[in-house]
Amino acid sequence: MSGNVQLLSDTLAKAKAEDRAALVAYLPAGFPTVDGGIEAAKAVFDGGADIVEVGLPHSDPVLDGPVIQTADDIALKGGVKIADVLRTVREAHAASGKPVLVMTYWNPIDRYGVERFTAELAEAGGAGCILPDLPVQESAVWREHAEKHGLGTVFVVAPSSRDERLATITAAGSGFVYAASLMGVTGTRESVGASAEDLVARTRATTELPVCVGLGVSNAVQAKEVAAFADGVIVGSAFVKRMLDAPDHAAGLTAVRELAAELAEGVRRTP
């Protein structure tokens, strides 16, 4: 393994060595503005996030619930471009020294050009990409370019994934495996559910890669629950909601920093 994905792997290994799960925060680029989104990413790192996923806003985010859709709409109305996503990655990584990934649907990368996107993401210091709608069997071109530039490729597994399918997906991925703990769209939920623990166990049986759980975690209690069985806890909608609910941008930054601190305590598995 080489390049930027090494930082991602090292970060997850360090968390494991500290007997805790890693805290992974998701924020869309360009929300509430490009500069504001960069400040938000820095704020969650300041609060205690280990890894940040920068979302590439999409006009039809099939996997995302209403909170992230609202933020994506704001970003798209503001004219966010792939260059802004890459700038967000660059500045968030440069300020923190921590791994920053891009989470995106496949279509924007395909249109932009795979070679161009992977080269520019690596140059910006990005650790890799989470590609929720790219089928593994259609990912060879992406993986070839990602590997050439030292980028991780994170695939998403779901409770509906059969064991043999899990093995195919995890064999193709790098960095970590994103386990979607509940079927359906992202968003905070009252309980993260037992399906997540079963999915993590089945995924681990197929790979040495860390398994990080997303979809539904919104507070420290849930983070602790998931940290008991997962290598990483991914939180998105809860951060975005704090920003949306804040009376102004400064209050939003304070709110996401505080949430990151609460969640960072939660993933530490202490009794």
What is the crossing angle of helices 194-204 and 163-172, to 10°?
A: 60
Cα 8 to Cα 77: distance, rounded to the nearest angstrom:
32
Q: What is the model's pLDDT at position 193? A: 63
Q: What is the model's pLDDT at position 189? A: 56
- For the entire predicted model, the pTM comes to 0.95
Cα 80 to Cα 82: distance, rounded to the nearest angstrom:
7
Q: What is the mean pLDDT of each run of 10 residues along the chain (271 residues)?
A: 84 96 98 98 98 92 81 95 98 97 96 98 98 95 97 94 94 96 55 78 97 89 91 96 97 98 89 56
Cα 50 to Cα 123: distance, rounded to the nearest angstrom:
21
Q: What is the model's pLDDT at position 64? A: 75
Q: What is the model's pLDDT at position 27? A: 97
CA angle 125, 113, 102 (to 5 degrees): 35
Which active-site residues does the annotation give?
A: 53, 64
DSSP annotation of 138 reads G
Residue type, 211: V
Closest-CA residue to 22 (of 67, 53, 43): 53
Q: What is the model's pLDDT at position 79? A: 96
